[in-house]
């Protein structure tokens, strides 16, 4: 088979082989090193990391959080910057000294809460090199956790469904949780996206009945995945039913102002937010593309009412509070051509498209609080777990990873043109074209790649599209980003058994795609049982940061540096010749 022929001018490196090593592997001519790991001291007077889980909740509040995910680099000058980094969740067996998979005390819960949220990390260049290091102390370094105060803005702020005994205003929430991926605004703020927020809520009340709305958001009150509600009443849905409604939002953080309070923007809708792909339309309006990561959920788009003010950034803060939320419908090609079609964006506006009191929506805020219900009401397409969206800077076309869906083809989840594969264990990347106008309500779409495994399946739909080869095979595309040159960086969060359906795919990995030719080449492989996720660059694209998340979640890793307990870490990648990453 043809191996890594230099066909695409965008892909300037030799592909790496699949790996099952407990280490980071990067393309020849590149260097990878750890920038910061879970538990590293971040702010003044922080305790040193205890590799056996002995740090307290108070220690963790001053240390780098766990399970680093989406992140954005904010330059200060050529030699200084700030990276805002999500800390999505924790691996309890490594976080707690007792090594168990559940919190067993309020102290455990507080430590877990302190390891969640966002870490703001100042960095400085090392000499004249492309290498950077954490700057400490720095006035920018801070932790935002599951207990940090934040405000609520937009149409649902103050709504009765957001009011609690502790906050009758419905406008002051404590904390952000399950911060998955991210976005960056044109005015220099960071967007962090709350994903699987319901897993923190539960109750010991045996007769508690979940509402249809809670069920639609996946709440399993009797068997919550994370045991916070047993020790912290705020997460007990029987005692504080509205607290659940205060999560599942996109939160804006100003990384340059350590005093600025984070803001939850309700106009962007409430669902299991993956990331926020921000772009400015030709007519000046702000557009945010968003995925809701659960099997059969939807893709959304937000369009601001007003235009971005490039002169006075202070005028832009309402752009995320006043606008229209849309949801996507993907339809088949009129001539029946597979893997392409047409689509439309349907407005989720109170009083329109059946979003009326007769159908259970009492006011505009309820359409946003229960955006999933509204999306179903208007006939949105059920997708194969929409994860990251990235916009090609050269032609404005958004790409979205549909990571996998092993329920596709079952009852209630029939195949459709955009999600064409039953028992879809490999996933696909879909892209759409709005004719150069990001505010358009119509689009065409096609499948950029249908992932697959030509080793396990030389033929058939599980082989994948022709741009999948025995040399680049992978499953479950998740993280996604374009660089300035137009390279599409694809990060995976999939099965790493390296057997059967997944033979020859090795550990989770990062690949680069040429959006025009479709060629895809493997650039990096992570250590054992990690996910690679989160990607950002310095403005010159000569330094890349990428996250190794939950290495050794299967108990099989000592990453990094032979650590007694494995640690999620931010990895810095540079080129030995100092050139542009991937070029």
- Which of 22, 92, 254, 493: binder of Ca ion (CB under 5 A)? 493
- Binding of ligand FEO by 180 (CB under 6 A): yes
- Which of 22, 236, 293, 514: binder of ligand FEO (CB under 6 A)? 293
- Binding residues for Ca ion restricted to 362-401, rule: CB under 5 A: 387
8-state DSSP, 102:
S
Q: Which two tokens stand for residue 94?
A: 């490594």
**How many residues lie near ligand FEO (CB under 6 A)?**
6
Please, which residue, 293 or 471, has the CB nearer to ligand FEO? 293
Alpha-carbon gap, residue 271 to 32, rounded angstroms: 35
3 state SS of 80: strand
Residue number of the CB atom closest to Ca ion = 493
Would you say 524 and 573 are in contact if contact means Cβ atoms under 8 Å apart?
Answer: yes
Would you say 480 and 387 are in contact if contact means Cβ atoms under 8 Å apart?
Answer: yes
Please, which residue, 15 or 291, has the CB nearer to ligand FEO? 291
**How many residues lie near Ca ion (CB under 5 A)?**
3
Strands 543-549 and 142-144: unpaired
**Nearest distance from C-beta of residue 547 to ligand FEO, angstroms:** 11
**Nearest distance from C-beta of residue 375 to ligand FEO, angstroms:** 17
- Binding residues for ligand FEO restricted to 532-551, rule: CB under 6 A: none
**Exposed (0-12), middle (13-18) or buried (19+): which is 501, by Cβ within 10 Å?**
middle
Please, which residue, 57 or 383, has the CB nearer to ligand FEO? 383
Q: Choose the stretch contacting Ca ion; rule: CB under 5 A; options: 33-41, 58-66, 283-291, 490-498.
A: 490-498
**Nearest distance from C-beta of residue 299 to ligand FEO, angstroms:** 13
**Nearest distance from C-beta of residue 534 to Ca ion, angstroms:** 9
Please, which residue, 92 or 493, has the CB nearer to Ca ion? 493
Please, which residue, 108 or 387, has the CB nearer to Ca ion? 387
3 state SS of 147: coil
**Nearest distance from C-beta of residue 121 to ligand FEO, angstroms:** 20
- Binding residues for ligand FEO restricted to 41-70, rule: CB under 6 A: none
- Which of 22, 40, 61, 88: binder of ligand FEO (CB under 6 A)? 88
Q: Convert 210-278 into a string of H (helix), E (strand) and C (coil).
A: CCHHHHHCCCCCCCCCCCCCCCCHHHECCCCHHHHHHCCCEEEECCCCCCCCCEEEHHHCCCCEEEEEE
Alpha-carbon gap, residue 480 to 477, rounded angstroms: 8
Q: Which two tokens stand for residue 383?
A: 């997708």
- Binding of ligand FEO by 387 (CB under 6 A): yes
8-state DSSP, 46:
P
Please, which residue, 346 or 530, has the CB nearer to ligand FEO? 530
**Nearest distance from C-beta of residue 384 to ligand FEO, angstroms:** 12
**Nearest distance from C-beta of residue 224 to ligand FEO, angstroms:** 18
**Nearest distance from C-beta of residue 197 to ligand FEO, angstroms:** 11
Contact pattern from residue 427 through residue 466 relative to ligand FEO, giving x for each residue in contact according to CB under 6 A and a dash for the rest: ----------------------------------------
**Nearest distance from C-beta of residue 387 to Ca ion, angstroms:** 5
353: left (phi over 0), alpha (psi -120 to 50) or beta: left
- Which of 59, 194, 195, 292: binder of ligand FEO (CB under 6 A)? 195
Would you say 323 and 304 are in contact if contact means Cβ atoms under 8 Å apart?
Answer: yes
**Exposed (0-12), middle (13-18) or buried (19+): which is 458, by Cβ within 10 Å?**
exposed
C-alpha separations of 447 from 12, 260, 398, 510 in Å? 24, 41, 12, 19
C-alpha separations of 329 from 343, 344, 381 in Å? 5, 5, 5
- Binding of Ca ion by 478 (CB under 5 A): yes
Q: Binding partner of residue 252 among Ca ion, ligand FEO, none, CB under 5 to 8 Å per kind?
A: none
Q: Find the distance separating the first CA and the last CA of the chain, reported in whole Å.
A: 24
Q: Choose the stretch contacting Ca ion; rule: CB under 5 A; options: 125-133, 143-151, 311-319, 493-501.
A: 493-501
Residue whose structure tokens are 């309006």? 285
Please, which residue, 88 or 236, has the CB nearer to ligand FEO? 88
Please, which residue, 292 or 387, has the CB nearer to Ca ion? 387
**Nearest distance from C-beta of residue 439 to Ca ion, angstroms:** 27
Residue whose structure tokens are 């092993």? 406
Q: Which two tokens stand for residue 92?
A: 């309890």
Q: Choose the stretch contacting Ca ion; rule: CB under 5 A; options: 149-157, 278-286, 355-363, 472-480.
A: 472-480
Please, which residue, 176 or 377, has the CB nearer to ligand FEO? 176
Q: Where are the alpha helices (DSSP H) in 378-419?
A: none
Please, which residue, 326 or 388, has the CB nearer to Ca ion? 388
Please, which residue, 252 or 531, has the CB nearer to ligand FEO? 531
Output phi, psi for 567, to 5 deg: -135, 125
Q: Binding partner of residue 195 among ligand FEO, Ca ion, none, CB under 5 to 8 Å per kind?
A: ligand FEO
**Nearest distance from C-beta of residue 95 to ligand FEO, angstroms:** 18
Please, which residue, 59 or 66, has the CB nearer to Ca ion? 66
**Cross-strand partners of 276:** 290
- Binding of ligand FEO by 274 (CB under 6 A): yes
8-state DSSP, 107:
H
**Nearest distance from C-beta of residue 383 to ligand FEO, angstroms:** 12
Strands 117-125 and 80-87: antiparallel
3 state SS of 95: helix
Would you say 91 and 111 are in contact if contact means Cβ atoms under 8 Å apart?
Answer: no
Binding positions for ligand FEO, rule: CB under 6 A: 88, 180, 195, 274, 293, 387
Question: Which positions lie near Ca ion, rule CB under 5 A?
Answer: 387, 478, 493
């Amino acid at each position: 088979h043809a191996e890594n022929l230099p066909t695409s001018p965008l892909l300037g490196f030799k592909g790496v082989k699949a790996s099952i090593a407990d280490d980071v592997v990067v393309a020849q001519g590149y260097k990878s090193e750890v920038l910061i790991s879970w538990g590293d001291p971040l702010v003044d007077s922080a305790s040193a990391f205890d590799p056996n889980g002995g740090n307290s909740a108070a220690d963790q509040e001053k240390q780098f959080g766990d399970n680093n995910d989406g992140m954005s680099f904010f330059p200060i000058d050529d030699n200084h910057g700030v990276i805002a980094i999500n800390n999505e969740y924790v691996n309890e067996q490594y976080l707690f000294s007792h090594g168990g998979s559940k919190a067993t005390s309020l102290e455990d819960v507080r430590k877990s809460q302190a390891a969640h949220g966002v870490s703001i990390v100042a960095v400085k260049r090392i000499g004249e090199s492309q290498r950077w290091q954490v700057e400490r102390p720095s006035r920018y370094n801070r932790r935002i956790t599951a207990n940090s105060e934040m405000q609520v803005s937009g149409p649902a702020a103050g709504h009765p469904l957001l009011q609690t005994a502790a906050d009758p205003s419905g406008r002051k929430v404590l904390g952000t949780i399950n911060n998955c991926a991210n976005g960056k605004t044109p005015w220099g703020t960071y967007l962090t996206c709350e994903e699987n927020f319901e897993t923190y809520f539960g109750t010991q009340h045996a007769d508690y009945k979940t509402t249809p709305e809670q069920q639609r958001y996946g709440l399993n009150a009797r068997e919550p995945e994370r045991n916070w509600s047993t020790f912290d009443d705020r997460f007990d849905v029987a005692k504080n039913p509205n607290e659940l409604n205060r999560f599942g939002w996109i939160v804006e953080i100003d990384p340059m102002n350590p005093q600025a309070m984070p803001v939850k923007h309700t106009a962007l809708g409430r669902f299991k937010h993956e990331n926020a792909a921000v772009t400015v339309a030709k007519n000046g309006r702000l557009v945010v593309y968003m995925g809701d990561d659960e099997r059969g959920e939807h893709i959304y788009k937000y369009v601001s009412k007003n235009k971005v003010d490039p002169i006075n950034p202070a005028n832009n803060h309402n752009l995320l509070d006043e606008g229209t939320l849309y949801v996507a419908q993907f339809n088949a090609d009129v001539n029946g051509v597979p893997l392409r079609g047409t689509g439309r964006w349907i407005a989720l506006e109170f009083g329109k498209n059946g979003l009326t009191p007769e159908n259970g929506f009492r006011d505009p805020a309820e359409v946003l609080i229960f955006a999933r219900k509204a999306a179903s009401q208007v006939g949105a397409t059920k997708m194969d777990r929409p994860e990251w969206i990235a916009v090609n800077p050269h032609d404005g076309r958004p790409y979205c990873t549909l990571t996998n869906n092993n329920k596709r083809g079952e009852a209630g989840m029939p195949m459709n043109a955009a999600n064409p594969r039953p028992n879809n264990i490999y996933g696909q990347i879909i892209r759409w074209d709005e004719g150069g106008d990001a505010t358009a309500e119509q689009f065409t779409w096609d499948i950029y790649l249908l992932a697959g495994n030509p080793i396990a399946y030389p033929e058939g739909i599980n082989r994948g599209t022709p741009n999948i080869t025995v040399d680049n095979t992978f499953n479950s595309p998740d993280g996604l980003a374009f660089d300035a040159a137009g390279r599409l960086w694809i990060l995976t969060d999939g099965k790493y058994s390296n057997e059967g359906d997944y033979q020859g795919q090795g550990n989770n990995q990062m690949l680069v795609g040429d959006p025009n030719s479709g060629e895809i080449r493997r650039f990096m492989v992570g250590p054992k049982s990690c996910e690679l996720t989160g990607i950002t660059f310095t403005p010159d694209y000569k330094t890349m940061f990428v996250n190794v998340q939950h290495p050794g979640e299967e108990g099989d890793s000592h990453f990094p540096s032979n650590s007694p307990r494995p640690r999620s870490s931010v990895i810095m990648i540079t080129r030995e010749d100092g050139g542009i990453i991937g070029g």
